Amino acid sequence: MKLLHVVGTRPNFVKAMPVIRALTAQASDCEQIVIHTGQHYDPNMSQTFFDDFDLPCTIENLNVGSGSHAAQTGNIMRRFEPALLKYAPRAVVVYGDVNSTLAAAIVAAKCGTPVIHVEAGLRSGDRTMPEEINRILTDQIAEQLFAPSRDAVANLAAEGISGDNVHFVGNVMIDTLVNFLPRCNSDEVLRKLDIEADRYVMATIHRPSNVDSEEKLTNIVHALAEISRELVVIFPVHPRTVPKLAPLERVINASGIRLVDPLGYTDFISLQRAARLVITDSGGVQEETTYMCIPCLTVRPNTERPVTVSHGTNRLVAPTRDSILSEYKLALETSTARCNIELWDGRAARRIADIVAAEYGNAR
């Protein structure tokens, strides 16, 4: 069985790692190749994850880089097709909802290669999000769909996708977290940043809906500045957000907000786990905070990960200074019970590997 895994962005690397490792462990006949589209390319958005994860397979980089949605998606398609033809895999595995996911899925489906979608069925219901378009279309052309939660299975059924090829397996991003938590000792990174556990807030903001709106980003930064009078705010800045913060430099410099470069996975998780609270618009961070029981404010009107709100520590909050501050106070006053989300148990990738081996292995 030969499989091509397609990744391109930071969250893809985190999701693919456990699946590749589980297939290596469980399917001895499995040859695996990773195609990195190059959608993310800064060393701290890309190489650092490969250093941490040490994947046991060939990795080829298509070096596509940044561009408009059409340019980026089209370039990935053009460069992925020859790679697909060269390797002629039994199936192509795609992850999540980024442009690399959709581009590779379209190419594979049209070349007659089965598409396996890991993290299928998530829906925010918000078609202004580029990721929502990527999710809907990828699920329509996938042959095997691996859903992280029951709501995702229901979303697929509502779009007419149901049957033996839809599998509720749990969350692979949590697999990586479970695997790495024992080596995520916060002491070192706390010492490096000269902060104390539980005495800081961690922030990550990168959605276009927040950072491309001067008004919303200004509101968010003003709320963080206010919070930083009480708790230090550590803000690892995504490259999309960097230029957008320039006009807010004076506010930031006069506050306790500390901008830092994007962090490697181990440092980032180590900081998340010791934070008093997290403020984010990231998809993965909503899940990780829920698993670790860290209060989380998600600055978005909706989420494709509703279990993090109904069963976790996540609260949706509007991008206004007052909403963020009032939810921040509420979250600090509310105690967080240990969250236990069905099949978020560190074994999702093993379930996926079993099914993939049964479907596409040589015995078939």
Active-site residues, by number, are: 206
Residue 45: closest CA among 307, 174, 251, 237: 237
Closest separation in Å from C-beta 227 to ligand UDP: 19
CB of 280 within 8 A of CB of 286? Answer: yes
264 binds ligand UD1 (CB under 6 A): no
Q: Which of 150, 178, 179, 175 is nearest to 162 (CA)?
A: 150
Alpha carbons 248 and 274: distance in angstroms, whole number: 27
Token pair for residue 182? Answer: 């024992």
DSSP H stretches of helix in 111-171: 130-141, 150-158
Nearer to ligand UDP, 278 or 356 (CB): 278
CB of 349 to ligand UD1, least distance (A): 20
Q: What is the dihedral of CA 167, 170, 176, 178, to 10 degrees?
A: -150
45 binds, among ligand UDP, ligand UD1, none (CB under 5 to 8 A by kind): ligand UD1
Shortest reach from residue 165's CB to ligand UD1, in Å:
25
CB of 355 to ligand UD1, least distance (A): 26
Enumerate residues 122-141 that contact ligand UDP by CB under 6 A: none
Distance CA 252, CA 221 (A): 7
Contact between 241 and ligand UDP per CB under 6 A? no
Q: From the list 42, 187, 196, 322, which residue makes contact with ligand UD1 (rule: CB under 6 A)?
A: 42
Q: Is 170 in the site for ligand UDP (CB under 6 A)?
A: no
**39 in contact with ligand UD1 (CB under 6 A):** yes
The one-letter code for the residue type at 76 is: I
Choosing from 8, 89, 284, 295, the residue that interacts with ligand UDP (CB under 6 A) is 284
* Partner from ligand UD1, ligand UDP, none binding residue 265, C-beta < 5-8 Å depending on class: ligand UDP
- Which of the 8 DSSP states describes residue 202? E
Chain length of the chain = 364
344 touching ligand UDP, by CB under 6 A:
no
